[in-house]
Amino acid sequence: MNIAQLIGRSFSRRLTPPRIFILSFALLILIGTILLRMPFASSGSRLSFVDALFSSASAVCVTGLAVIDIGKDLSLAGQIVTLVLFQIGGLGIITFSVVLFGLLGRGISFKGREIVQSTFLHTPRHDFLVIVRGVLRFTFVIEAAGAVLLFIRFAEDFPPAVAFFHALYNAVSAFNNCGYSLFSDSLMSYRGDWLVNLTVMGLIVLGGIGFIVGFAAYVLFRRTPPNQMSR
């Protein structure tokens, strides 16, 4: 065994699941910062490094804090970058990785299973891949339903394409409890609007209770054990 292999094994042993989880978030924040610094991400002058870093970190960690006007300072490409960041940050990078490997037909390594168990499922399970897939289905169905409801209202104020993107952005942001909005005044213009307020509140609550709770409620509703659900 050569020195490179020894170093690789030693480094792999030091990469515990919590450390990998932290590093994956740091890497995503860095990638988001680089993308938001690109000229195509801004509608005017490029964002400064600190503003891009803050916006990326805030999106990935779904804090809702912003030092820029997302709807005005970012171009459509930049807005899509933030949308992807808080969607991945809200769901968890590990979730996407597991599902991606599953879709590609690749097996999940023991290290990968350990990471998922420690950062996502909390308790040992053998059907974690089924649960993670169920989490994504639950997430995308709820977000799509929220986007449709918001589109009905936004279509009264904007052209269809603009209304659709506003609806999608706000629905994903609300479900992931991010708080980002393309409107300069957030949703203040829709104060007192029953459809917008109830839809956003519903998304916030469903996203806030957690994926495992939602999945457990879904299984209870169907009265079907998780390991008997179709893959």
Q: What does the alpha-carbon distance between residue 54 and residue 204 come to, in Å, rounded to a whole number? A: 23
Q: In the prediction, which pLDDT does 202 show?
A: 94
Asked if 180 and 82 count as a contact pair (C-beta separation under 8 A), the reply is yes
Tens digit of each residue's pLDDT, the chain (231 residues): 555 554 455 545 666 656 766 788 899 999 999 999 999 999 988 999 999 999 999 999 988 899 999 999 999 999 999 999 999 888 776 565 555 555 445 555 555 555 555 545 554 455 556 667 777 788 899 999 999 999 999 999 999 999 999 999 999 999 998 989 999 999 999 999 999 999 999 999 988 886 667 666 766 777 655 555 444
Dihedral, 208, 122, 25, 132 alpha carbons, nearest 10: -70
Of the candidates 147, 98, 136, 150, which has an alpha carbon nearest to the alpha carbon of residue 218?
136
Q: How many CB atoms lie within 10 A of CB 1?
A: 7
Of the candidates 131, 52, 62, which has an alpha carbon nearest to the alpha carbon of residue 94?
131
- Chain center to CA of 118: 19
Q: What does the alpha-carbon distance between residue 207 and residue 36 come to, in Å, rounded to a whole number? A: 26
For 148-172, give the secondary structure using H, E and C: HHHHHHHCCCCCHHHHHHHHHHHHH
Q: In the prediction, which pLDDT does 229 show?
A: 47
- 3-state SS assignment for residue 158: coil
Q: What is the pTM of this model?
A: 0.78
What per-residue string of b and e applies to 21-51 under the rule 16 or more CB within 10 Å gives b?
Answer: beebbeebbeebbebbbeeebbeeeebeeeb
Residues near 176 by Cβ (< 8 Å), separated by ≥ 6? 62, 86, 87, 89, 90, 91, 207
Task: Say which residue the tokens 């209304």 belong to.
Answer: 163
- 3-state SS assignment for residue 85: helix
Q: In the prediction, which pLDDT does 44 show?
A: 85
